[in-house]
Amino acid sequence: MIASLGLILFCQLVGEAIARSLALPVPGPVLGMALLFVVLVARDRARPWAPAFLTSGEVETTGKSLLAHLSLLFIPAGVGVVRNLDVLAANGVALAAALVVSTVLALLASVATFRLVSRLTGGG
Amino acid sequence: MASGDFALWVYLSRPPLLWLTVTVIVYAAVDAVSRALQRRPLTNPVLHSVWIIGVLLAATRTDYATYFEGAQFIHFLLGPATVALAVPLYENRDVVARALAPMMAALVVGSVVACGSAILIASWLGAPRGTLISLAPKSVTAGVAMAISEQLGGDPALTAVLVISTGILGAIIVTPMMNALGIRDFRARGFAVGLASHGIGTARAFQVDPVAGTFAGVAIGLNALLTSIVAPILISWIGR
Please tell me the least confidently modeled range out of A46-55, B64-73, B107-116, B196-205.
Answer: A46-55
pLDDT tens for each residue of B206-237: 999 999 999 999 999 999 999 999 999 999 98
Residue finishing a domain among A68, A99, A114: A68
* Residue A39 resides in a domain: yes
Are A57 and A91 found together in one domain?
A: no
Q: pLDDT category, B7, cuts 50, 70, 90?
A: confident
What does the alpha-carbon distance between residue A54 and residue B154 come to, in Å, rounded to a whole number? Answer: 44
**In a domain? residue A55:** yes
In total, the C-beta contacts within 8 angstroms joining chain A to chain B are 332
Region B193-212 average pLDDT: 97
Residue A110 in domain:
yes
Residues A22 and A62 in one domain: yes
This model of the complex carries an ipTM of 0.93
CB-CB neighbors (< 8 A) of B189 in chain A? 111
In the prediction, which pLDDT does B15 show? Answer: 62
Q: Which residues contact B114 (CB under 8 A, 6 or more apart)?
A: A102, A103, A105, A106, A109, A110, B138, B139, B195, B196, B223, B227
Query: Is residue A10 in some structural domain?
Result: yes
Residues A105 and A57 in one domain: no
> Within this chain, do residues A50 and A97 fall inside the same structural domain, yes or no?
no
What average pLDDT does this structure show over A30-35?
A: 94
Query: Please, are residues A62 and A4 in contact by the beta-carbon 8 Å criterion?
Result: yes
Test mutation, A1, A44, A71, chain B, max B CBs within 10 A: A71
A86 — pLDDT class (breaks 50, 70, 90):
confident
A121 touches chain B (CB under 8 A): yes
Q: Is residue A73 part of a domain?
A: no
**A15 and A63 part of one domain:** yes
Contacts of B126 in chain A (CB under 8 A): 91, 94
Residues A1 and A61 in one domain: yes
Say if the Cβ atoms of A75 and B81 lie within 8 Å. no
Q: Is residue A44 part of a domain?
A: yes
Instruction: With CB atoms and an 8 Å threshold, state whether B23 touches A84.
Output: no
Give residue A122's domain range.
83-124
Q: Please report the pLDDT score of residue B240 as a whole number.
A: 57
Q: How far apart are CA B124 and CA B122, in angstroms?
A: 5
**Higher per-residue pLDDT: A24 or A110:** A110
A58 or A85, greater pLDDT: A58
- Domains contained in chain A, number: 2
So what's the pLDDT on residue A121?
A: 92
Chain B contact for A118, CB < 8 A? yes
Chain B CB contacts of A32 below 8 Å = 79, 82-83, 86
DSSP A74: G
A54, part of any domain: yes
B61-108 per-position pLDDT tens digit? 999 999 999 999 999 999 999 999 999 999 999 999 999 999 999 999
Task: Kindly state whether residues A90 and A115 are assigned to the same domain.
Answer: yes
What pLDDT sits at residue B165?
95
Q: Are B191 and B216 in contact (CB under 8 A)?
A: yes
Q: Does A94 lie in the same domain as A63?
A: no
Question: Do residues A44 and A98 both lie within one domain?
Answer: no
Res. B114 pLDDT band, cuts 50 70 90: very high
Indicate the angle between helix axes A92-120 and B186-208, nearest 10 degrees: 120
Report CB contact under 8 Å: B125, A97.
Answer: yes
Does the pLDDT value for residue B2 go beyond 60? no
CA distance A1 to A60: 10
pLDDT band at A1 (very low <50, low <70, confident <90, very high): confident
Which residues in chain B touch residue A12, judged by CB atoms under 8 angstroms apart? Answer: 79-80, 82-83
Q: Give pTM, 2 decimals.
A: 0.91
pLDDT band, residue B3 (cuts 50/70/90): low
The reply to whether A5 and A60 lie within a common domain is yes
Question: How far is the alpha carbon of B11 from chain A, nearest alpha carbon, in Å?
Answer: 22
Name the residue of chain B whose CA is nearest to A118's CA.
B102
- Name the residue among B24, B162, B195 with its Cβ closest to that of A106: B195
> Chain A 18-77, CB below 8 Å of chain B: which residues?
25-30, 32-37, 40-41, 59-60, 62-64, 66-67, 69-77
User: How many angstroms separate the CA atoms of A70 and B208, rounded?
Assistant: 13
pLDDT band at B16 (very low <50, low <70, confident <90, very high): confident
B82 CA to chain A: closest CA distance, Å? Answer: 6
What is the pLDDT, as a whole number, of residue A88?
82
Distances (CA, A) of A13 to A30, A50, A67, B74, B83: 11, 21, 19, 18, 10
